[in-house]
């Protein structure tokens, strides 16, 4: 993880505004959001500190966290990314002050986007989580 980032070092396909925002990010946040660090390698307390949220409850304090690799197919993930890229909200969020890149979807809109079978996988996750943590 680098301490600072030269915006010029990012690929030219990245918009200049994103490159500047990436350069201004805390190195821990940048490693996750820009450099592709494996989230499992970043201690949660380091991330909370980087976000200015020291003392926030961690997953251990809340209880269990369920990891489900490939919860959605690559096709479904690509469809979601494309929708977020083309229809997202760009208001600043409360975590890092950068654009949210958030797309609110109703259940019907999600199913139309990824298909009912893929969406059903997501709807089953809370039940699976409850079964694991009961």
Mean pLDDT of 50-78: 79
Q: How confident is the model at residue 45 (pLDDT cuts 50, 70, 90)?
A: confident
pLDDT digit string, tens, across residues 85-130? 888 766 777 766 767 777 889 999 999 999 999 999 999 999 988 8
Is the per-residue pLDDT at 62 higher than 70? no
| Entry pTM | 0.54
In this predicted model, which residue has the larger pLDDT, 3 or 48?
48
Closest among 49, 51, 46 to 95, alpha carbons compared:
51
Q: How far is CA 6 from CA 21, 25, 44, 130, in A?
A: 11, 11, 26, 45
- Copy the structure tokens of residue 11: 């690929």
Q: What is the pLDDT of residue 2?
A: 43
Radius of gyration, alpha carbons of the chain: 17
């Amino acid at each position: 993880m680098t301490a600072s980032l030269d915006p010029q070092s990012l690929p030219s396909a990245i918009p200049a505004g994103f490159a500047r925002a990436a350069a201004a990010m805390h190195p821990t946040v940048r490693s996750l959001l820009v450099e592709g660090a494996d989230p499992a390698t970043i201690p949660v307390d380091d991330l909370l500190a980087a976000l200015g949220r020291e003392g926030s409850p961690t997953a251990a304090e809340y209880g269990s966290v369920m990891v489900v690799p490939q919860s959605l197919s690559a096709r479904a993930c690509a469809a979601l990314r494309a929708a977020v890229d083309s229809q997202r909200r760009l208001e600043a969020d409360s975590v890092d002050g950068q654009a949210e890149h958030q797309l609110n979807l109703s259940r019907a809109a999600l199913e139309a986007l990824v298909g009912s079978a893929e969406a059903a996988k997501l709807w089953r996750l809370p039940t699976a989580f409850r079964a694991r943590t009961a």
